[in-house]
Amino acid sequence: MDPAAITIDNLADPVVIQWLSEIESAAVFYGKSTGFLAKYMRDRGPEALQVAVLYENLVQDYSQLAEEKYGQKIIAVYPTEGSLFSDHPFCILDADWVSEEQKMVADEYLKFLSQKELILKAIQTGFRPIDVNLLDESDIQEVYQLSFNMEHGVTADPGVIIELHPPTDGLVIARIPDLWLLTRNSE
């Protein structure tokens, strides 16, 4: 289903509630954060936790450490349905209530973030560039290949990662946590 077409009625559908309840019933526990879950996997091994939803950079941080300790890496699995990008959009507003100074500062910040050294540092710390055209530059490609590979538990192939778009209706977005609270494993 196209996420833009998801409605409140879809969230209240008994079939959807049952489906999510079945998934949530398999949850052993809920961590405080994805970082907590990644550390738990690294420290306790595959006998304690075999599946978690994690950011790629956490897989990269802990994959080799888990292998050293338990003989098994933490490996990213990329769903064929798509992945949600952890995006933190940045925009410069063009509105009458935004001063010229604020626009100038925002523009300077964007220039700062666009510096090649910062892009390279972001890639080195496990953040995949959303603009795959950056990979056409040999120095960026080199750093990318050192960070994104199966040695670190992640794929280098940006084509494997299909962006899954979340719903666009604000009311639907606001109600998704209610659905999760209704279906989560509380045992």
pLDDT digits (tens, 9 = 90+) for 134-144: 999 999 999 99
Statement: residue 76 has pLDDT above 90: yes
pLDDT of residue 85: 76
Amino acid in position 110: L
Query: Does residue 92 register a pLDDT over 90?
Result: no
For 82-102, what is the mean pLDDT?
A: 85
pLDDT at 138: 95
pLDDT confidence of residue 160: 85
pTM listed for this prediction: 0.79
CA distance 110 to 25: 44
Q: What is the pLDDT of residue 104?
A: 94
Contacts of residue 93, defined as CB under 8 A and 6 or more positions apart, other chains included, come to 103, 106
